[in-house]
Amino acid sequence: MNDGGWISIHRKIKDHWLWSDPVKLKWWIDILLTVNHSESKVNIGNVLIECKRGQSIRSLQTWAVQWQTNKSMVRRFFDLLQNDEMISTENVKKSTRLTVCNYDSYQDSRNANETQAKRKRNANETQTTPNNNDNNVYNENKENNLDSLVPEGFQERWEKFNGWVTNQDFKYVSKIEEQLTASQLKTLIEKSNATTVMDKLLALENGGRKYIKNKSVYLTINSWINRDLQNG
């Protein structure tokens, strides 16, 4: 846990893509507040793992619980940050080592005026091996990555839904290749209603391994709802 007491955020954060997404902005600030302020070691399975300044060693599930969401949402958020060279990640002992690129710029005011070009150069220098153990990572195209942004006016319902999913611990549904996006959830609710969608999601989970090989949570639930509508 970061015990540094403060972080430095430049006014230009208002021009950053995070600023338009309050949830992801909150998560990013939480990362800055959570990573180590000084070097330490973490004991995982009786193995001491080095955790340097600007790093954290936590499982995706731990981040998901902290943010009241699910692991798939955490993975996608980390992917966005890595694509923008803001963090790097690597697998360590059933956990994830997260490194904030150019962490000192959030702690030392002398680095506040560092140019974007230099930041990206530093990010390349500190880039570690990417996470290669995510069999359940979304194989989404660019359109679906954009689709992960919450539709206007749907933020509160999306947050409540993710909190419900986290509390239910959908260990089988989470293994399906393509998880449910905010836009897809909105579409399903508009086609039927929220209670029906949640009932279908529970049925999908209760099916155990039977549905793990299904390509998409959305396509599965949508087909079930269509079948119900056809049957009256």
Question: What tens digit of pLDDT does each residue of 10-28 get?
Answer: 888 888 899 998 999 999 9
CB-based contact 23:38 (threshold 8 Å): no
Cα separation, 35 vs 39, whole angstroms: 10
> 102-146 pLDDT, tens per residue?
888 887 544 444 444 444 555 555 444 444 433 333 333 333 344
Residue range(s) in the chain whose domain bears CATH number 1.10.10: 11-126
Euclidean distance between the first and final Cα of the chain, in Å? 54
Which numeric CATH code is attached to 11-126? 1.10.10
Place of tokens 């689709």: 147
Give this prediction's pTM: 0.47
**How high is the pLDDT of residue 49?**
85
Rounded mean pLDDT, 199-215: 88
> Which amino acid would we find at residue 177?
E
Q: Hey, what are 113's tokens?
A: 């005026």
